[in-house]
Amino acid sequence: MEESCRPGSCFPWQRSTIPSLFKIVVVLGVGHANPTDEGGLDSFAGAAYLLKQGRNPLFASHYVSSLKSLQANLIRGIETEFHREVEHFQYRVTSRTTKNTKYRFENKESSHRARSFMFLSYAAVAAATRGMSDIFICENGVLSLNIPISDARKGTRSTRHAHPLFLQYFNQFINALYGRAFSVHNPFQFWTKAQEAKFLEKSNLHSLIKDTVTCWGYPNQTLKYPNSNHCGYCIPCIVRRVSVKAAGLAAYDDQYVIDVFNLKPNAPEKYSRNIEDLIYFCQSIETFSNTELIYRYPEFVMADFGPPNGTQDRISKAISVYRKFAKELLSVADKDSTRPLYSASSPLSAIGLVPS
Ligand SMILES: [Zn+2]
């Protein structure tokens, strides 16, 4: 942990300057994308969504590399649009050891699997210190449930950073730890990313979409490209590109280093693997009934976890979000791709289920 963030020294959230009618703290990944984190656009939309509700949030964001200034710029954009100041604190935790640090880690954890636990933990400390009760982490329904798009991605191969079961467990954990009731929410559990992009347009914030960062590979894979923060071939990049285009906002998006819909025949396999798996997965989503989908992807039943919110049949709602996304992806791929989408080797072709 950096000196500037060590416990007990200078946590900025300890001083309350704005009286909170709606006491919430928001885990804000505005422009945040550590090597395995999807965020940025979802969190930026989440910030606008909560302010539009008249809430008075405290935003918390972790940063790496140049994201600190990107995050600050996005917050300024929000303040300009909403004609008000917002509270925002930034922090950085790294497993890298620096010279003469007092807080040297004994072991290095480099998988980033615990990142959401860390983000939410910071939010919980801030909420507890301020007497806040609601904690928001904003993630679209597809990547929060994150159904494994192929058998090779089952289990720990697919991130659960904003999964409803994880959020429920975390909620129970901090309730027990602090001895009082918190509520951990994901307001976009049943939204697609395209809906979030449309919401940003409605909020007149769409011109800032290009400044949010979503890529799994940022900054390591993108630093060598001066005009882009997005590799183009990781799953979050593909989901973002498709969603922003489906929302009719491609002109406001960042550039993508690799165009997965127009790869050269000799392109490395890593560039084509994700889009091919996604296309196959989306074909399945479009083709099968709800019952068949639950049989094929039993992870859909996990959508039923979360705080009681009056939502009926969360599993059907989650499938419906996936169907919307599948339609968007296949439609954008159909328009943008120079390669055949439905290969003869597709298992869907083999059983005669390829859409005509
Ligand atoms: Zn990427």
* Closest by CA position to 210, among listed 70, 7, 11, 353: 70
**Residue 30: pLDDT over 50:** no
254 and 328 Cβ atoms separated by less than 8 Å: no
Residue 45 shares a structural domain with residue 124: yes
- Gap between the Cα atoms of 81 and 295, Å rounded: 46
8-state DSSP, 200: H
Mean pLDDT of 7-21: 39
pTM (2 d.p.): 0.83
Q: Would the pLDDT of 9 be above 60?
A: no
Same domain, 86 and 167: yes
Regarding predicted confidence, which is higher, 339 or 199?
199
Q: Considering the domain boundaries, does residue 231 fall inside one?
A: yes
pLDDT value for 97: 64
| One domain for residues 138 and 274 | no
Band of pLDDT at residue 346, cut at 50, 70 and 90 = low
The 3-state DSSP class for residue 111 equals coil
Three-state DSSP string of 48-85: HHHHHCCCCCEEEEECCCCHHHHHHHHHHHHHHHHCCC
- The answer as to whether 351 is a domain residue is no
Q: Is residue 337 part of a domain?
A: yes
247 has a pLDDT exceeding 90: yes
Angle at CA 53, nearest 5°, toward 47 and 57? 45
Taking the centre of ligand 1 as the mean of its atom positions, its distance from the CA of residue 254, in whole angstroms, is 11
Please give the distance, rounded to the nearest whole angstrom, from the Cα atom of residue 295 to the centre of ligand 1. 31
Least confident of 167-171, 225-229, 336-340: 336-340
pLDDT band at 112 (very low <50, low <70, confident <90, very high): confident
* Position with higher pLDDT, 112 vs 285: 285
Same-domain pairing of 33 and 169: yes
Cα of 228 vs centre of ligand 1, distance in Å, is: 10
CA of 36 to the centre of ligand 1 (A): 10
Does residue 176 carry a pLDDT above 70?
yes
CATH number, position 121: 3.40.50.620
Q: Omega before 308 cis (within 30°)?
A: no
Q: pLDDT (tens digit, 9 = 90+) per residue, 68-82?
A: 888 888 999 999 999
Bridge partners (DSSP) listed for residue 183: 134
Q: How many distinct structural domains can be found in the chain? A: 2
Residue 73 CA, ligand 1 centroid: distance in Å: 21
329 lies in some domain: yes
How many angstroms does the Cα of residue 345 sit away from the middle of ligand 1?
27
Which has more pLDDT, 338 or 124? Answer: 124
Closest CA to 332 of 234, 272, 249: 249
What is the SS3 assignment for 6?
A: coil
**What would the mean pLDDT of 195-212 be, rounded to a whole number?**
95
Claim to verify: residue 311 and residue 252 sit in the same structural domain: yes
How far apart CA 1 and CA 106 sit, in angstroms, is 12
Q: Are 186 and 167 in contact (CB under 8 A)?
A: yes
Is the confidence at residue 213, as pLDDT, over 50? Answer: yes
Residues 315 and 233 in one domain: yes
Is residue 111 included in any domain, yes or no?
Answer: yes
d(C-alpha 246, C-alpha 193), whole Å: 9
**pLDDT at residue 344 is higher than 50:** no
Q: How far apart are CA 78 and CA 59, in angstroms?
A: 12
Whether residues 72 and 133 fall in one domain: yes
Establish if 93 belongs to a structural domain. Answer: yes
**Mean local confidence (pLDDT), 289-308:** 89
Task: Report percent pLDDT > 70 for the chain.
Answer: 78
Q: Average the pLDDT over 272-283 and give the result.
A: 93
Say how many Å lie between the CA of residue 31 and the centre of ligand 1: 13
Using the predicted structure, report yes or no on whether residue 331 has a pLDDT greater than 70.
yes
For ligand 1, the distance from its centroid to the CA atom of residue 32, given in whole angstroms, is: 13
Confidence at 307, pLDDT banded by 50, 70, 90 = low
| Residues 75 and 176 both lie in one domain | yes
Ligand 1 center–CA 216 separation, angstroms: 5
Contact (Cβ atoms closer than 8 angstroms) between residue 239 and residue 328: no
Q: Report how far ligand 1's centroid is from the alpha carbon of 177 (Å).
A: 36
- Residue 19 Cα, ligand 1 centroid: separation in angstroms? 39
Structure tokens that stand for 20 in this block: 């909170």
Query: 45 and 116: one domain?
Result: yes
Q: What distance in angstroms lies between residue 219's CA and the mean position of ligand 1's atoms? A: 10
Q: Do residues 29 and 173 both lie within one domain?
A: yes
Number of H helices, E strands in the chain: 11, 5
How big is the chain by its Cα radius of gyration, in Å? 20
CA of 174 to the centre of ligand 1 (A): 33
Across 23-32, average pLDDT: 48
Do 325 and 287 share a structural domain? yes
Residue 191 lies in a domain: no
d(CA 137, CA 77): 20
Q: Give the distance (Å) from ligand 1 centre to CA of residue 220.
A: 10
Quote the domain boundaries for residue 312. 215-342
- 192 inside domain: no
Lowest-confidence pick of 51-65, 94-108, 238-252, 340-354: 340-354
Virtual torsion, Cα 9, 11, 17, 20, nearest 10 deg: -140
Task: Say if residue 166 is in the same domain as residue 282.
Answer: no
Q: How many Å lie between the centroid of ligand 1 and the Cα of residue 33? A: 10
